A and B are shown apart, each in its own frame.
Chain A
Amino acid sequence: MAEASSNSSSQTERPLSPHLQIYRPLINMVMSIVHRLTGIALYFGALGLAWWLFAAAHGPDYFAYVTSLFATWPGKLILFGYTWALMHHMFGGIRHFIWDFGHGYDLKAVDILSWGTLVLSVLATGLIWFLLCPAIGSNGSAGSPLSGGI
C-alpha cells in the first residue's frame, strides 16, 4: 500500500510487527505463498504459449523446431511444472472465490481448503499427464508441445 518512503532522515525507528520468520509455517500460509509463486511462474510461462502459437503461425519447419525443444527432458520438465502451477493457481483461485463469498473462514475449513488446493492440484496434474502419456513417444511428427519421444 501507499507509504511515504522519501523522507528517510525523519523516519523514526518503530517496532515492526512480527514477520514471516517468527511464525511456524501453517498450510494456509504456505499455500498463499505458493499461490503467488505459481502466479509468477505462469506469468513467464505465458511466453511459452505465445511462442508455441507464433511457431504454428510461422510455418512447419519452425514449428517442428520449437516442438522438438519442448519435447526434450528440460522442456518436458518445464511443461510439467507449468501444468502443476496452472492447476495449483486455479484451485487456489477457486479457494479465494469461496472466501470472497464469505464462506470457509473457520480454522478447520481454512485447513481443508488449503490442503484441498495442494491435493487437487497434484491429482489434476497427474490426470492430465496420464491423458498425455499414450501419445508421448508414439509419433515422431510433432504436433502438441508434448509429442516426440520420451
Chain B
Amino acid sequence: MTMRTPLKSVRHLGSAKEGADHFWLQRITALANVFLGLFLVWLVVRLVGADYVEVKRLLANPLIALPLLLLVLSSALHMRVGMQVVIEDYIHTEGLKLLLLIVNTFFAIGVGAVAVFSILKLSFGG
C-alpha cells in the first residue's frame, strides 16, 4: 500500500495541456448564449400569431437564420460540456459513465444536426 496521493504520482509528468479548455469553452458559449438566448425569446414573441407562410419567410431571412444557427451551435457545445460535468459528478461506475458520456455527445450533435438541417432547409430548400 502506498501513502502517496494521486497528485504525487502524476507530478512532473507534464500537464494534459487542456486543463482550461473545458472551462473556457463553457464560459465562451455561455457568453454567446446570453445574447443568442435573448434573440430566441424575441423571435418567439415576434412569431406569436404568425401563419406558416410568415414563419417560413422569417426563418429564411439571413438576419434571423444566422443568429439561429449560431444559437444552435453554441447551445449544443454548451449543453455537451454542461451535461458532461453532471455525469462526471454523479456517475461513479466507470463503464456506465463512459457510456453516458458517449450518449451525451451523440445527443448534443444529434439535436444540433436536426436544428441546423432544418434552418438550412428553410433558407435554401425552396
Q: How far is the CB of A129 from the nearest CB of chain B, in Å?
A: 10
Query: What is the total of A-B residue contacts with beta carbons within 8 Å?
Result: 115
For residue B1, CB closer than 8 A to chain A, the reply is yes
CB contacts under 8 Å to A, within B62-85, are 68, 72, 75-76, 79, 82-83
What residues of A have a CB within 8 angstroms of the CB of B30 in the complex? 93, 96-97
Q: How far is the CB of B98 from the nearest CB of chain A, in Å?
A: 13
- Quick check: B37 and A39 within 8 Å, CB to CB? no
With known contacts A57-B117, A143-B49, A128–B111 Cβ distance under 8 A: no
For residue B34, CB closer than 8 A to chain A, the reply is yes
**Chain B residue nearest to A100 in the complex (CB):** B27
What residues of B have a CB within 8 angstroms of the CB of A2 in the complex? 6
- Quick check: B82 and A131 within 8 Å, CB to CB? no
Question: What are 29 A-B contacts defined by CB distance under 8 Å?
Answer: A5-B92, A6-B94, A39-B82, A40-B86, A42-B79, A43-B83, A46-B75, A47-B111, A49-B40, A50-B114, A50-B115, A50-B118, A51-B114, A53-B118, A53-B122, A56-B59, A57-B119, A57-B122, A90-B34, A90-B38, A93-B33, A97-B31, A128-B41, A136-B48, A143-B50, A144-B48, A144-B49, A144-B50, A146-B44
List 6 other contacts, CB 8 Å, given A5-B94, A54-B118.
A43-B83, A50-B115, A50-B118, A53-B114, A144-B50, A144-B55
